[in-house]
A and B are shown apart, each in its own frame.
Chain A
Amino acid sequence: MQLILESLFNGVAIGSVLLIAALGLAIVFGLMGVINLAHGELMMLGAYSTYITQLIFKLPILMPFYNAYVIVAIAVAFLVSGVVGILLERSVIRRLYGNPLETLLATWGVSLILQQFVRSVPLAYGAGLIIALLLGLLLPIVLSKEFISNRYDRFIKLGSWSIATLIGVLTASGLSSSISKIGRASARNVDVTAPSWMRGGIDLWGITFPVTRLVIIVITLISVLSVTWFLNRSVWGIRIRAVTQNRSMSDCLGISTETVDILTFGIGSGLAGVAGVAVSLLGSVGPNVGGSYIVGCFMVVVLGGVGNLIGTVIASFSIGILTDLIGAGRLLTIWPDMPGPLASTVDFFATTSMARVLIFALIVIFLQFRPAGLFPQKGRMVEA
Chain B
Amino acid sequence: MTLLETHNINTYYGESHILRDIDLSVQHGEMVCLIGRNGVGKTTFLKSLIGLLEPRSGDIYLEGNSLNRMQPHQRARAGIGYVPQGREIIPYLTVEENLLLGMEALKGGLTAHRKIDSFIFDIFPVLRKFLARKGGDLSGGQQQQLAIARALLGSPKLLLLDEPTEGIQPNIVQDIESAVRRIINEKGIGVLLVEQHLHFVRQADRYYAMQRGGIVATGRTSDLSQVVVDKFLSV
Which residues of A are interface residues toward B (Cβ below 8 A)? 235, 238-239, 241-242, 245-246, 248-257, 377, 379-381, 384
Contact = CB atoms under 8 A, between A and B. Distances in A.
Contacts of A248: 52, 72, 88
Contacts of A246: 88, 90-91
A231 to B, nearest CB: 11
Interface string B77-111: 10000101000101111000100111011100111
B68 to A, nearest CB: 17
B174 interface: no
Contacts, number: 83
A249 B77 contact: no
Given A245-B92, A253-B105, A381-B91, 12 more contacts: A238-B93, A238-B110, A239-B101, A241-B90, A242-B97, A246-B91, A249-B88, A251-B71, A252-B73, A255-B101, A257-B73, A379-B137
A235 B110 contact: yes
Nearest to B111: A235
The 8 closest A-B pairs by CB, nearest first: A381-B91, A254-B105, A381-B136, A254-B76, A254-B104, A249-B88, A251-B72, A235-B110
26 contacts: A235-B109, A235-B110, A235-B111, A238-B93, A238-B101, A239-B110, A241-B97, A242-B93, A245-B91, A245-B92, A250-B101, A251-B71, A252-B51, A252-B73, A252-B76, A252-B82, A252-B88, A254-B104, A254-B106, A254-B109, A255-B104, A256-B71, A379-B91, A380-B136, A381-B136, A384-B91
B71 A249 contact: no
B93 A255 contact: no
B90 A251 contact: no
B150 interface: yes
Contacts of B26: none
B141 to A, nearest CB: 14
Most chain B beta carbons < 10 A, residue from A239, A250, A252: A252
Contacts of B76: 251-254
Which label, helix, strand, loop or mixed, suits the secondary structure of the A interface? helix
Interface of B: 50-52, 71-73, 76-77, 82, 84, 88, 90-93, 97, 100-102, 104-106, 109-111, 134, 136-137, 150, 154
A257 B101 CA distance: 13
A377 B134 CA distance: 13
A239 B98 CA distance: 10
B46 to A, nearest CB: 10
Given A252-B82, A254-B73, A255-B104, A245 B88 contact: no
Contacts of A256: 71, 73
A245 B100 CA distance: 16
A248 B84 CA distance: 11
A384 B150 CA distance: 21
Contacts of A239: 101, 104, 110
A384 B73 CA distance: 24
B52 to A, nearest CB: 6
Contact of B72 (A252, A377, A381, A384): A252
Contact of B101 (A242, A377, A379): A242
Contacts of A384: 91
Contacts of B101: 238-239, 242, 250, 253, 255
A257 B136 CA distance: 21
B104 A241 contact: no
Nearest to B97: A238
A250 B90 contact: yes
Contacts of B104: 239, 253-255
> A241, A249, A379: which has the most chain B beta carbons within 10 Å?
A249
A238 B136 CA distance: 16
B92 A249 contact: no
Contacts of A241: 90, 92-93, 97
Contacts of B111: 235
A238 B91 contact: no
Nearest to B106: A254
Nearest to A245: B90
Nearest to A251: B72
B73 A242 contact: no
Interface centre among B50, B51, B104, B109 (most CB of A within 10 A): B104
Given A238-B101, A379-B137, A381-B92, A251 B73 contact: yes
Contact of A238 (B100, B105, B150): B100
Contacts of B154: 253-254
Contacts of B110: 235, 238-239
Contacts of B91: 245-246, 379, 381, 384
Nearest to A259: B73
B93 A254 contact: no
B50 A254 contact: no
Contact of B52 (A252, A254, A380): A252
A235 B110 CA distance: 7
B136 A379 contact: yes
A256 B110 CA distance: 12
B135 to A, nearest CB: 8
Contacts of B73: 251-257
Nearest to B76: A254
